Amino acid sequence: MSEENELETGSSGVEIPDVNAETANFEHTNIGTVQAELVRLNQSNADQINADEAEVHESIVAHVEAQNVSLRNNLVGYTQAGSLTMADSTLGLARVDDAVINNSSVSIMYSDTAQLQDSQAAVVVARQIEGGPIRTVVLLAGEVNGPVETYLDTPRAILSGLTAGIAVGLVLLAGRLLTLRRRRRR
């Protein structure tokens, strides 16, 4: 593990396995794990970033954990953050306190508050969500402000759960009755 106060790379194709620094700036670099107070990543790849603040631009990152995360033109697998600002990016899974997402895609997001502008998500769970247009498959939110295009919102999710529960219950009851009927015939 490399340990420095400040690390900066700019050579194309550089590979660095692990970094522990106060400030880390990377450009055109492949990195394993980065642990720093401030991480700036530009046109690079990283397995994991652990930081107080992470600024990622035109990069691919598997896992980001930071208090403040800023993503622009990225592909990120998982993010856990206090504050997430995201533009023109794709994110797999997010667990954040506050999110501001512009013109981006998120597979699954769990957030206290979220502001989505012209973005889409498969599943969003939030206490409060605003923006528009917000396109989701499943939206579970306490308060929604803005136009939403969703296949399954909170009332529909409850209705779908109840319907599925009743259907499964009826199938199990029918199976039980058939089993009892067969036992009586013997």
pLDDT at residue 15, rounded to an integer: 77
Give per-residue pLDDT as tens, 161-176.
Answer: 888 889 898 988 888 8
Confidence of residue 7 (pLDDT cuts 50, 70, 90): low
* SS3 (DSSP) at 28: coil
User: Three-state SS for 88?
Assistant: coil
Give the per-residue pLDDT at 95: 96
Q: Return d(Cα 140, Cα 152) in angstroms, integer.
A: 8
- 9 and 24 Cβ atoms separated by less than 8 Å: no
Average pLDDT over residues 172-182: 82
Distances (CA, A) of 154 to 95, 98, 111, 142, 161: 19, 20, 15, 8, 11
Chain-centre distance for alpha carbon 104: 11
pTM: 0.75
For residues 115-133, average pLDDT: 91
